[in-house]
């Protein structure tokens, strides 16, 4: 399984991730990227399906500030969505 979130402290709103993987990333009011897949709200607790792994990897590789974090387990204690 793969989980993902964006570190907004280092995101520079370059826009590459949303262009590469629009199903996973969108932008908040300040233009900073966040994971929106299946209502994740950038918590890193929503399992990204295998069909999106290529997009996920491409976006991570393409982020100029390494702000996209990926792991095999959830990043946070699962919260009510």
**Residue range at the interface with ligand F3S (CB under 6 A); choices 6-14, 36-44, 45-53, 70-78:** 6-14
Distance in Å, CB of 53 to ligand F3S, minimum: 17
Q: Which is nearer to ligand F3S, 46 or 80 (CB)?
A: 46
DSSP string for 30-49: TS-EEE-GGG-TT-S-SPBP
CA 53, 75, 1: angle at the middle one, nearest 5? 35
Q: Is residue 21 near ligand F3S by the rule CB under 6 A? A: no
**How many angstroms separate the Cα of 65 from the Cα of each of 31, 61, 72?**
15, 10, 21
Chain residues 41-80 in contact with ligand F3S, contact rule CB under 6 A? 63-65, 67-68
């Amino acid at each position: 399984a793969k989980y993902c979130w964006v570190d907004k402290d280092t995101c520079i709103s370059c826009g590459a991730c949303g262009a590469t993987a629009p199903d996973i990333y969108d932008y908040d009011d300040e233009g900073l990227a966040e994971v929106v897949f299946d209502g994740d709200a950038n918590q890193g607790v929503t399992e990204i399906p295998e069909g999106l792994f290529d997009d996920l990897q491409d976006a991570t590789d393409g982020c100029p500030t390494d702000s996209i974090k990926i792991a095999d387990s959830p990043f946070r204690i699962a919260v009510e969505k």
